[in-house]
Structures are given as structure tokens and as C-alpha cells.
């Protein structure tokens, strides 16, 4: 009879068919891959509900870095890049790679980290916002999930 015998001390030896063992191994592999992808999705997609929490109320913005699939003013964007301790956010709106940053939120003056009052759009496409005009003034806040909303 074709199969594998598993012996455990103190337990009667059992013979298992290779097909059953292969099926069990495949199920285990699927569960492991699913668990790993769920952990990765949780780490990269930290956004949950737009407007959930407030950067100032929760102790400030999330740490500097890149955050995928977050909400910016009610629309989901492919990526944002939070910089300078929460004083600047670059927004990628088209998702093209290599990344290009089409919008910038910036803090001017005395405001808490994670709060912005200037918005610029990269109108000339030169990968810098220094020579782009301010196109909107207002008040925006980034919450602990890296979502940006009007304040």
C-alpha cells in the first residue's frame, strides 16, 4: 500500500495516503500566503475611514514616509509622501511609475504638525514646487491613518 507512516511516541502508528497529505499541505500553504498578504495590506493600506481621527487630536501625523491608497479630500490616491515631520505632503494622483508628485500640501507659519494651509499643483511638471504658485489656501489635516481632509 502506497503512503506515509507517521509514528509519534506513545501513539499507534498511522498510515496516510499521499493525496491526503498533499491536500493538507496545499491548504496550509494557502492559509500562510493569505495571512502574509493580509499583514502586508494592513501595513501598506493604513487608511480605513476618511476623516477617522484628527492629526492634532491623536498626537500628530503618522511618521514620515510613503503611504499607499489613502484618501485625500474625499478621493483615493495611489500614494502620498509625508515629509519634514508632518509639515509637507506630496501627493501622487496618477499612480504612474516612476512616481511623480502632482500636488503638495504645506504648512506655513505657526500650526501644529499634520496641519496644512497651502496647496500647490505642479503645473509646469518640473518635479519641484518651488516655482509653482499657491492655488488654494485653506486648512487641511492629516489623521493617524494618513488621510487628508479639510478642517
State the CB neighbour count (10 A cutoff) for residue 101. Answer: 17
| Model confidence, pTM | 0.61
Collapsed DSSP state (helix, strand, coil) of residue 73: coil
Buried b (16+ CB within 10 A) or exposed e, 66-92: ebbbbbbbeeebebbbbeeebbbbbbb
Query: Measured between alpha carbons, how far is 135 from 44 in angstroms, rounded to an integer?
Result: 30
Q: What is the pLDDT along the chain (151 residues), one digit of tens a residue?
A: 566 776 777 777 777 677 766 776 777 666 666 666 655 444 444 433 333 344 444 457 899 999 999 999 999 999 999 999 889 999 999 998 899 999 999 998 888 888 999 999 999 888 789 999 999 999 999 998 899 999 8
What is the per-residue pLDDT for 38? 56
What is the per-residue pLDDT for 73? 95
What is the per-residue pLDDT for 70? 95
User: Where are the domains positioned within the chain?
Assistant: 4-44, 65-150
What is the per-residue pLDDT for 48? 35
What is the per-residue pLDDT for 45? 45
C-alpha cell at 64: 514620515
3-class secondary structure per residue, 87-151: CEEEEECCCCCCCCCCEEEECCCCCCCCEEEEEEECCCCCCCCCCCCEEEEEEEEECCCCCEEEC
Distances (CA, A) of 120 to 8, 35, 37, 79, 139: 68, 40, 35, 17, 13
What is the per-residue pLDDT for 57? 46
Query: Measured between alpha carbons, how far is 57 from 143 in angstroms, rounded to an integer?
Result: 9
Query: Measured between alpha carbons, how far is 89 from 106 in angstroms, rounded to an integer?
Result: 7
Amino acid at each position: 500500500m502506497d503512503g506515509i507512516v507517521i509514528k509519534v511516541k506513545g501513539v499507534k502508528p498511522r498510515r496516510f495516503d499521499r493525496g491526503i497529505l498533499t491536500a493538507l499541505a496545499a491548504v496550509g500553504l494557502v492559509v500562510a500566503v493569505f495571512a502574509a498578504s493580509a499583514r502586508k495590506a494592513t501595513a501598506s493600506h493604513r487608511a480605513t475611514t476618511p476623516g477617522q481621527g484628527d492629526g492634532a487630536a491623536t498626537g500628530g501625523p503618522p511618521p514620515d514616509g510613503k503611504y499607499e491608497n489613502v484618501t485625500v479630500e474625499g478621493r483615493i490616491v495611489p500614494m502620498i509622501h509625508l515629509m519634514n515631520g508632518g509639515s509637507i505632503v506630496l501627493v501622487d494622483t496618477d499612480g504612474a511609475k516612476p512616481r511623480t508628485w502632482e500636488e503638495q500640501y504645506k504648512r506655513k507659519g505657526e500650526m501644529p504638525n499634520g496641519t496644512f494651509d497651502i496647496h500647490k499643483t505642479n503645473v509646469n511638471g518640473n518635479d519641484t514646487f518651488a516655482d509653482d504658485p499657491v492655488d488654494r489656501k485653506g486648512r487641511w489635516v492629516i489623521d493617524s491613518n494618513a488621510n487628508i481632509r479639510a478642517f
